[in-house]
DNA sequence: TAGTGGTCTAGACCACCGA
DNA sequence: CGGTGGTCTAGACCACTAG
């Protein structure tokens, strides 16, 4: 990160700074390495800390940096490829499922979810919370909405709530014949509860994957999964091994 | 947007503000309506303009607001669902393709692309630029990398460059038998050229869709498409009609 | 307790748009 | 031209982490 001055160009400073830092990351830093702190970096480039932070935010959004309060800013590893909806004919909770059930409650879903499920606006459904872990790190949190009509043989005996209940609901779900599913991906920001589960601050950028499970001619379940946008690359289809790097990147010693 | 004061809570002000504004958008504003300007809003809530802007940025990221310099901040319409990779067995440029060819040059691709294509690091490939328009608005910009070996019968006569050349390359591509494709989605920020084409500022959040086209046992083409993250919801699979709204939202008169 | 990133302020000037 | 959002500054204090 040799030089120090910025030229006067019509380009915003923070954008130019982003480019300079990005190139420095490629050529002079290793994955996991700690950058100088924000005050030092700002001084080194002759800009205010807020401006420097704007550049860092961009790079964090692009998955190049990882920042943790009280710790520092480190060079992020390449994003992990996470397979989404590979098996078009498996329910959530199938044996090879990557998700872990956390909890389950019976409650009235948000209006938009009720509409998609074609349930009444005040009708409670099973809401299963699940989480997905990759290399020991949480990468996604999910809410699964399942109308009572999709699990007709569920007995209240199994468990009133909790992960045991979640497993019972998912077990019942397997009895239906799955006809297909739909996926949609959009950008969102983590709500407080999701943020906590993903080990991020509220408002952190997430990729929201909405999956509709179709059975007996209607939507039998709806999944809303939020993936950490900074660390994840979602892969669809067969072999999710497309690897496009920005440039040279070394491994930390 | 009745009241004015914020309480003292351990929650960041901008986050609380985001919630308050979000609820106001649901209940008191119509799509397309113009909000008060940032200075007035900040004064009304008793915060600095920078703090108010943090809240607006969140809402823009979530696709709730649209801000344009020199104009103002308006309530955004719901995101449009854009189908991605519906037909697993059609090349780019097939008759029903949603993309419009813009340009085509023969150049050396970035190192990561060359690696994915298994071409030499210095070997030039055809780079086709295309754009995708939805309701009269540009929603995505694409770079298509096609090795010369995938279009062996292309004659230099057709056109040296430009959209005519692009069409010629795509036409030749149809002669190969497509075996399948891979998609990957990740968050990125718009480079200067893409930003211009998408009518956004550099650094705007985009969803980057990387598609690998497989033929004759290898990667015969690679597409890197950047979609406006603020206005698009990407849909995969059959019927991309999952509609999850935040809440009530009226139409502008 | 010392050092980090996260939040917040109160200004200033600039780039762009529409009348 | 006046008004909008976009950029930038130079501070301050807070929340968190690690030694």
pLDDT of residue A154: 72
Judge: A185–B112 Cβ closer than 8 Å, yes or no.
Answer: no
Contact between B145 and B113 under an 8 Å Cβ cutoff? The reply is yes
The distance from CA A152 to its chain's CA centroid, rounded to whole angstroms, is 32
- Which helix (H) or strand (E) element contains residue B43? helix B38-45
For B202, which of A15, A113, A187 is closest by C-beta distance? A15
Cβ under 8 Å to B: A residues 81-100? 81, 85, 88
Question: Which percentage of chain A shows pLDDT scores above 90?
Answer: 62
Would you state the structure tokens that stand for residue A107, as one six-digit string? 């409650």
Q: Which residues of B78-100 are buried (b: 16+ CB within 10 A; e: fewer)?
A: ebebbebbeeeebbbbeeeeebe
Å: B50 CA to D11 C1': 15
Average pLDDT, chain A: 87
| Mutation for B interface: A49, A89, A119, A183, most B CBs within 10 A | A183
pLDDT score at A245: 52
For A187, the closest chain B residue by CA position comes to B229
Query: pLDDT tens-digit profile of A78-100?
Result: 999 999 977 667 899 888 888 99
Is B18 or A152 the better-scoring residue by pLDDT?
B18
- A120, exposed or middle or buried, with CB in 10 Å at 0-12, 13-18, 19+? exposed
Residue A240 pLDDT: 40
Distances (CA, A) of A35 to A25, A48, A75, A238, B248: 10, 17, 8, 38, 45
User: Within 7 Å: CB of A38 and strand C?
Assistant: yes
Cβ neighbours, 10 Å, residue A1: 16
Protein contacts on strand D: list nucleotides below 7 Å from a Cβ.
2-12, 15-18
| pLDDT score recorded for residue B240 | 40
Judge: B185–A181 Cβ closer than 8 Å, yes or no: no
Kindly report which listed range (A52-56, A160-164, A245-249) carries the lowest average pLDDT score.
Answer: A245-249
Assess contact for A192 and A217: CB atoms under 8 A.
no
Report the gap between the CA of A188 and the closest CA in chain B (Å): 5
Q: Which helix (DSSP H) or strand (DSSP E) does residue A9 occupy? A: none
Q: Which residue has the tokens 């139409």?
A: B251
Chain A hits for B12, CB-CB cut-off 8 Å, are: 202
CA A160/CA B62 separation, integer angstroms: 35
CA–C1' gap, B38 and C7, in angstroms: 19
Indicate whether A7 pLDDT > 50: no
Please list every residue in chain B whose beta carbon sits closer than 8 Å to the beta carbon of residue A222.
Answer: 242
Q: pLDDT tens, A128-137?
A: 999 999 888 8
A99-108, A227-236, B78-87: range with lowest mean pLDDT = B78-87
Task: For residue A238, give every residue at least 6 positions away whose Cβ sits within 8 Å of its Cβ, in sequence order, or none.
Answer: A86, B180, B182
Predicted TM-score (pTM) above 0.85: yes
Cβ–Cβ < 8 Å for B163, B169: no
The residue ranges of every structural domain in chain B are: 13-75, 80-235
Decide whether A13-75 matches A80-235 in CATH topology.
no
Please state which of the four CATH numbers 3.40.50.10800, 1.10.1740.10, 3.30.2180.10, 3.40.1410.10 is assigned to the domain occupying B80-235: 3.40.1410.10
- Residue A74 pLDDT: 97
Name B11's Cβ contacts closer than 8 Å, sequence gap at least 6: none
Tokens linked to A83: 């397979």
**Does the structural domain B13-75 have CATH classification 1.10.10.10?**
yes
Backbone phi, psi, residue B17, to 5°:
-60, -45
Per-residue pLDDT, B90: 84
Q: What is the pLDDT along chain B (253 residues), one digit of tens a residue?
A: 443 444 445 789 999 999 999 999 999 999 999 999 999 999 999 999 999 999 999 999 999 999 999 999 999 999 999 999 776 678 998 887 889 999 999 999 999 899 999 998 899 999 999 999 988 888 999 999 999 999 887 776 666 678 888 999 999 999 898 888 889 999 999 998 888 889 898 899 999 999 999 998 889 999 999 999 999 999 987 544 445 555 554 444 3
Q: What's the confidence (pLDDT) of residue B18?
A: 97
Q: Which of B1-10 are b and which e, b meaning 16 or more Cβ less than 10 Å from the residue's Cβ? A: beeeeeeeee
C1’ D5 / CA B184, Å: 34
């Amino acid at each position: 990160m040799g030089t120090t001055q910025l030229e006067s160009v019509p380009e915003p400073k923070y954008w130019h700074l982003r480019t300079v830092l990005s190139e420095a990351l490629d050529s002079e830093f290793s994955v996991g390495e700690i950058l100088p702190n924000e005050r030092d970096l700002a001084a080194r480039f002759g800009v205010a800390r807020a401006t420097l932070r704007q550049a860092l935010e961009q790079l964090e959004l692009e998955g190049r940096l990882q920042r943790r309060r009280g710790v520092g800013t480190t060079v992020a590893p390449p994003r992990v490829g996470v397979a989404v909806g590979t098996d078009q004919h498996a329910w959530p909770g199938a044996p090879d499922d990557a998700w872990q059930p956390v909890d389950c409650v019976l409650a009235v879903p948000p209006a938009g979810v009720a509409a998609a499920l074609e349930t009444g606006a005040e009708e409670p459904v099973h809401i299963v919370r699940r989480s997905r872990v990759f290399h020991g790190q949480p990468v996604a949190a999910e809410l699964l909405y399942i109308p009572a009509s999709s699990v007709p043989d569920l007995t209240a005996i199994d468990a009133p709530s909790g992960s045991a209940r979640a497993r019972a609901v998912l077990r019942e779900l397997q009895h239906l014949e799955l006809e297909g599913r739909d996926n949609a991906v959009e950008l969102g920001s983590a709500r407080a509860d999701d943020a906590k589960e993903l080990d991020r601050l509220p408002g952190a950028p997430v990729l929201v994957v909405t999956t509709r499970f179709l059975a007996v001619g209607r939507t039998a379940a709806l999944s809303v999964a939020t993936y950490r946008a900074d660390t994840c690359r979602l892969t669809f289809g067969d072999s999710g091994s497309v690897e496009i790097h920005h440039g040279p990147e070394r491994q930390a010693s």
